[in-house]
Structure 1
Amino acid sequence: MTDSVTPRPAADRSPAAVDAAVGAGRDLGLTVTDAKVLYDMFSVVVHLAPAPVVARVPTVLPHSTDPGSLARRQQAELDVARWLADQGTPVIPPSPLVPREPVQRDGFSMTFWQFVEEDRDKEPDYVANSEVVADLHAAMRAYPGGLSFLSSAEPLFITEGLAYLEERPDLIGPADLDRAGREWRVLEPLVRSRAAFEAAYPGIDLQPIHGDTPPANIFPGVDGDLYADFELVTLGPVEWDLAGMGPEGASAYDRGARRNGMRPLDEDVLRFANAVGMLRAIACLSLVPQLPVLVDYITPAIAQWRETPFAGGATG
């Protein structure tokens, strides 16, 4: 790979990602004759049929992403998912048929996972999923590997995304962007520094967490639900994983926490997590040139954000 991950035109990136996944799979000894794309948004997810292996190939990435940081993030995901699977936690595990490490090919970095048949008739229940996230947190507490504090917030991406949007008033208006910038000046120190976070929220324990909205990343397998997509696994407060789930999701999580002998969500920290998560969503508008559909998801959220307290009530 080169020293940077260069965005590809939308029409080219999915076929190129599939070709790279098929070629890498074959190089690793897999029989691949009928590759099928299962999902295509931020990543292209390919079943390398008939091998029981799925390749996940990130394709929509911040301009600041470099091959080294992407590979480190992918290795952390593989390590956590494998450890959880070894403990008996219901996760989609890395494929045992290939080395458990990222593979680089044709400018892409990809990981390989065990194929699981999806129950396509099951509708997602985000409230029920929020409750079982507490079970995941209970399982993750003992993870022995090292993780960075709130790396899933991607502070460099937020900073660079907001700067990019200064030149794109068609994506977000000046007043909204001004507020986002002022909020980020308050919240960024709490994201970048564990010590600053702990000073602002004393007594809040930190632990390994999923990092990327786990209630929305529970895979409905035909033999049962599985936790999935640990791409942004990190060290942080459990509240981070419940950002955006609303009061019902928070109440459901608290039920699961009590069942596991864990503390309930802290309202101040949850507001912090919601506020940072919203700024990360706004920064994602900088990815619209790569993925235009993002406008449809983010614009309604901005309208709701305007009605919330500044920076989630944080004062820095």
Structure 2
Amino acid sequence: MTDDLTPSHLARRTAAALDAATGAGRDLGLTVTDARVVHDLFSVVVHLAPAPVVARVPTVLPPGTDPGFLARRQRAELDVSRWLADRGTPVIPPSPLVPPEPVRRDGFSMTFWQFVEEDRDREPDYVANAASAADLHAAMRAYPGELEFLSAAEPHFVTDSLEMLAERPDLIDPADLDRARREWQVLEPVVRSRAAFENAFPGIGLQPVHGDSPPANIFLGVEGDLYSDFELVTLGPVEWDLAALGPEYEAAYNRRAEHNGMRPLDADVMAFVNAVGMLRAVAVLALVPQLPVLLDYVKPAIAQWRETPFAGGFQA
């Protein structure tokens, strides 16, 4: 079972994404003579220099990802980011030089963002970023657009990945897979249903949230920090954005939340979202054939998961 992509395959994928972004940018009227890749993991991020525009091109996606679904998700990200920027929230906004719509080219679906120069002399302060997530939640509360409940949990991806991993014992121990499947049977109904969530956690309000760990997605710009990467923006409990970070980060969030007049994180909901986050980490193993380096990222999370209570202690 060695169908993982080789370094040469990965390089060709990156080059294809770069070419697609360059061509799409030129089609949109941008002057692009020195395009360069500035980041390459789940997406290839391309600065379309000298235009002050960055294209983000998702390249590592669950097998069978529907192009229409991806475009809807990208549209939601663009809408939320633009809405926040218009209200003065420090975010990386969509580029004003092109229409705020995803563009499909050469099999890729991409979005275009304002280029911001990174401050490479600073290191992220993740505890401070966790506190800042409370400010972001306060800003997002009034977002009027329609968002799906806990779409950031990607339940279809988890279900499909656990099935696929049955054919990849080289990626996951069968005992771990068995536990993951049994945990998902407990957690999945609450992930998929707003009514089931509200029944399990009465009184826990839902609101628009970032969806993908905002403390890890604050961009260090030379003129200040900016929230970024709202690819998984969703309707959910604020706890979702602090999943798997730990007590120090939760405490920092709670101090800022109290200052903002917001409720603190709920311990039971935190246990639930932590458990779901752990299963998403297990599911990411199914993407290793597309991006082999993921295995090194996921191994520590799997080891941590083995030490946690079954389903985080959650009982339906």
The TM-score with structure 1 as length reference comes to 0.97
User: What amino acid is the match of 2:215?
Assistant: P
> Percent of pairs identical after alignment?
78
Residue 262 of structure 1: aligned partner? 262
The 5-angstrom pairing of residues 67-146 of structure 1 reads: 67-146=67-146
Deviation at residue 13 of structure 1 after TM alignment: 1.0
Residue 312 of structure 1: aligned partner? 312
The SS at the match of 1:281 is helix
Q: What's the RMSD between the two structures over aligned residues?
A: 0.9
Residue 200 of structure 2: aligned partner? 200
Give, in whole Å, the separation in 2 of the partners of 1:21 and 1:256: 39
Give, in whole Å, the separation in 2 of the partners of 1:301 and 1:163: 20
Matched, 1:57 2:35: no
Deviation at residue 308 of structure 1 after TM alignment: 0.7
Deviation at residue 36 of structure 1 after TM alignment: 1.2
The SS at the match of 2:199 is helix
Q: 1:175-231: per-residue Cα shift (whole Å, max 9, x none)?
A: 111110000000000000000000000100000000001100000000000000000
The SS at the match of 2:167 is coil
The SS at the match of 1:112 is strand
Matched, 1:285 2:285: yes
Deviation at residue 64 of structure 1 after TM alignment: 3.2
Residue 242 of structure 1: aligned partner? 242
Q: Is the contact made by 1:20 and 1:106 (CA closer than 8 Å) also made in structure 2?
A: yes
User: What amino acid is the match of 1:114?
Assistant: Q
Deviation at residue 243 of structure 1 after TM alignment: 0.5
Give, in whole Å, the separation in 1 of the partners of 2:65 and 2:268: 31
Deviation at residue 263 of structure 1 after TM alignment: 0.2
Matched, 1:19 2:16: no
Matched, 1:173 2:143: no
Give, in whole Å, the separation in 1 of the partners of 2:132 and 2:300: 28
Give, in whole Å, the separation in 1 of the partners of 2:64 and 2:162: 13
Q: 1:121-141: per-residue Cα shift (whole Å, max 9, x none)?
A: 111111110000000000000
Please list every run of 5 or more consecutive structure 2 residues that lacks an aligned counterpart in the other structure: 1-7
Deviation at residue 260 of structure 1 after TM alignment: 0.9
Q: Is the contact made by 1:81 and 1:94 (CA closer than 8 Å) also made in structure 2?
A: yes
Please list every run of 5 or more consecutive structure 1 residues that lacks an aligned counterpart in the other structure: 1-7
Residue 5 of structure 2: aligned partner? none
User: What amino acid is the match of 2:292?
Assistant: P
Q: Is the contact made by 1:271 and 1:313 (CA closer than 8 Å) also made in structure 2?
A: yes
Residue 156 of structure 1: aligned partner? 156
Residue 187 of structure 2: aligned partner? 187
Give, in whole Å, the separation in 2 of the partners of 1:100 and 1:151: 22
Residue 223 of structure 2: aligned partner? 223
User: What amino acid is the match of 2:200?
Assistant: A
Deviation at residue 256 of structure 1 after TM alignment: 1.1
Deviation at residue 259 of structure 1 after TM alignment: 1.2
Give, in whole Å, the separation in 2 of the partners of 1:27 and 1:144: 32
Deviation at residue 65 of structure 1 after TM alignment: 1.1
Give, in whole Å, the separation in 2 of the partners of 1:194 and 1:216: 26
Q: Is the contact made by 1:254 and 1:264 (CA closer than 8 Å) also made in structure 2?
A: yes
Give, in whole Å, the separation in 2 of the partners of 1:15 and 1:145: 35
Give, in whole Å, the separation in 1 of the partners of 2:275 and 2:64: 22
Q: 1:103-149: per-residue Cα shift (whole Å, max 9, x none)?
A: 00000000000000000111111111000000000000000000000
The TM-score with structure 2 as length reference comes to 0.97
Residue 3 of structure 2: aligned partner? none
Deviation at residue 9 of structure 1 after TM alignment: 3.9
Give, in whole Å, the separation in 2 of the partners of 1:173 and 1:54: 40
Distance of aligned partners of 1:9 and 1:66 in 2 relative to their CA distance in 1, 3 Å threshold: farther
User: What amino acid is the match of 1:251?
Assistant: A
Residue 41 of structure 1: aligned partner? 41
Matched, 1:66 2:54: no
Q: Is the contact made by 1:64 and 1:157 (CA closer than 8 Å) also made in structure 2?
A: no
The SS at the match of 2:300 is helix
User: What amino acid is the match of 1:293?
Assistant: V
The SS at the match of 1:220 is strand
User: What amino acid is the match of 1:130?
Assistant: A
How many residues matched?
309
User: What amino acid is the match of 2:21?
Assistant: A
Give, in whole Å, the separation in 2 of the partners of 1:164 and 1:253: 37
User: What amino acid is the match of 1:273?
Assistant: V
User: What amino acid is the match of 1:57?
Assistant: V
